[in-house]
Structure 1
Amino acid sequence: MAYIKLLRPKHWAKNLFLFIPLFFAGEFLNFEKISQILLGFIAFSAIASSIYILNDYRDIEDDRKHPKKKFRPLASGAVSKPAALVIAAILIVGGFGLAYFIRDKFMFVLGIYFFINVGYSFGLKNVAILDIILLAAGFVLRVKGGSVISNIALSEWIVIMVFLLAVFMALGKRRDDVILKINSGVDMRKSIKGYNLELLNSLLALICAVIVVAYFMYTMSPETMTKLGTHRLYYTCLFVMAGLMRYLQIIFVQADSGSPTKILYKDLFIQIVLILWIASFAAIIYIKDFSFFE
């Protein structure tokens, strides 16, 4: 069980961003491309897990001070350091091997993701602001990976929105770290010295507003209407705003924004909103003649 936990399989949900180009291009029923991206999902998950292992290896001492991270396999001693490094090496070789089999350009994108995150684990995460930007870049590279595999060109709006959403979630996580520091008096990560609640609250409000505006502009842009053959995507803005407001509620009211992945798995409101957004978006794209949208 400890070895499975070491891989952090719950975080593989982030790699679903690989499917975004297919979804937004209206090709989510193209099963040949879906099968290719599924292989890409496996390769990305292997590389991501290897990075989690390297990150945990580097952060053993810091994680032991954290109220939740101290239970991680390496920090708790459930998995030895040599065993963890061997598993990481196997994942790296397997992940890049599969990526090359899928497409050499995808392996290149995955390589950029890997080296950015290695740099993050080995010191860049200690630089405030830069740490958030690098985390957000990882999500953009996931979307780019899906674009390369499926040979679907990415809209600038999709890249912008994915980046902003990732920044938004990372800011919420950093705010949680600042609150832990205030309550415990211990820096949970070195970059926290560059943040305080006032800065993070301001940035959260700013990024949230930009995300809403960007999404509205995407749904109503002539390029999107022409490409997808519909002008009704603005209906889905309701669910985007509801999801963002719920996340802000979790951050400011419940003060529980430590893990966006955990929120996705456990918060029923966000799950329902996400399902409704996907369903409405898919219906508008794939069932254009449905009378409901007249």
Structure 2
Amino acid sequence: MTVWGGLVRTARPQQWTKNILVLVAPAAAGVLLQPERLAAALTAGAAFCLASSGVYFINDVRDVRADRLHPQKCRRPVAAGVVPVPTALAAGVILLLCALGVSAAVSSALVLVLLTYEVVQVTYCLGLKDQPVLELVSVASGFLLRAVAGGVAVAVPLSPWFLVTAGFGSLFMAAGKRYAEAQLVGRTGLAVRPVLRHYTLTYLRFVWTLAAGVLVTTYSLWAFSVHDLSDREQSTWNVVSIIPFVTAVLRYAVNVDSGEAGEPEQIALHDRVLLLLGVLWAAALGASVYG
């Protein structure tokens, strides 16, 4: 592997699928088909792609010694010595700064949201990842800030129900991932991450059950108010969207409970039923807003 190949691999472009969350608020507000606002939302998504890749570089530099002792993470380009530590650190800083520059092309408010994301995620890499509960909130905030950034980029008001739904949906996925990792440790004894020593399966199960309950409740309340955000007449499709949404949450919970909920985007792409439910949910919500 060349240094350039190592840089690309360290940037983890496969993780950029998370940034589709930036489009959720503009889509729900019914403005995604407006060229200027679509361009702003896509620019915000690009900024988050740069920022998230920059964070991965910082993370791999911070963990280089531990990764070299790990049976799987030792293959990471920085740990394997393919990408020198100074090069990786420089690439991370450049990407973080470029992300802020790209977001500045949209608005100062988006810069603030992105800067908050970068500060929280870099702090996570530098030590917050070892603090129980705080690390869960940190991981969840990454998903939430993406959703907030979409609304900020296109200058649409964010419903309180939307914010609570996005927040607890993020916590549900973060806690589910930790639950799966804790089960993996129990089965194999493989040290996945140090913070898991502070959690029990019962506690993590409590967290994602609580998050799922709030998520379903607040989404249902939000779905009844979608038409208010798009200045359209009341539609039954926003209520219909609750059905595939709740079913998808239950389906995702099957993956969580079986210990298979690793990266959320991998579960969504490999579980065809979950993917179909996502399409049905998007179609119902789209019919409500754009129909």
Query: Which residue does 2:195 correspond to in 1?
Result: 191
Query: Which residue does 1:234 correspond to in 2?
Result: 239
C-alpha offsets along residues 137-186 of structure 1, whole Å, 9 cap, x if unaligned?
12222122222211111011111111111101111111122123223435
Amino acid at match of 1:247: Y
Percent identity reads 28
Please report how far the alpha carbon of residue 134 of structure 1 lies from its aligned counterpart in structure 2 after TM superposition. 1.2
Single out whichever of 75-84 and 113-122 deviates more from structure 2. Answer: 75-84
User: Which residue among 243, 247, 250 is the counterpart of 2:255?
Assistant: 250
Structure 1's consecutive aligned runs of 4 or more residues displaced over 6 angstroms after TM superposition are none
Structure 1 residue runs of 5 or longer lacking an equivalent are: 288-294
TM-score (norm 2): 0.91
Q: How many Å separate the matches in 2 of 1:211 and 1:110?
A: 24
Q: How many Å separate the matches in 2 of 1:19 and 1:224?
A: 15
Query: Which residue does 2:39 correspond to in 1?
Result: 35
Please report how far the alpha carbon of residue 238 of structure 1 lies from its aligned counterpart in structure 2 after TM superposition. 1.1
1:1-294 aligned at under 5 Å gives the runs: 1-64=5-68, 66=70, 68-220=72-224, 223-228=225-230, 229-232=233-236, 233-253=238-258, 255-287=259-291
Partner of 1:272: helix, strand, or coil? helix
Single out whichever of 63-72 and 119-128 deviates more from structure 2. Answer: 63-72
- Count of residues paired in the alignment: 284
Amino acid at match of 2:280: L
Partner of 2:244: helix, strand, or coil? helix
Please report how far the alpha carbon of residue 102 of structure 1 lies from its aligned counterpart in structure 2 after TM superposition. 2.1
Amino acid at match of 1:171: A
Q: How many Å separate the matches in 1 of 2:64 and 2:138?
A: 21
- 1:68/1:276 CA distance change after superposition, 3 Å: farther
- 1:239/1:100 CA distance change after superposition, 3 Å: same
- 1:110/1:226 CA distance change after superposition, 3 Å: closer
Structure 2 residue runs of 5 or longer lacking an equivalent are: none
TM-score (norm 1): 0.90
- 1:165/1:65 CA distance change after superposition, 3 Å: farther
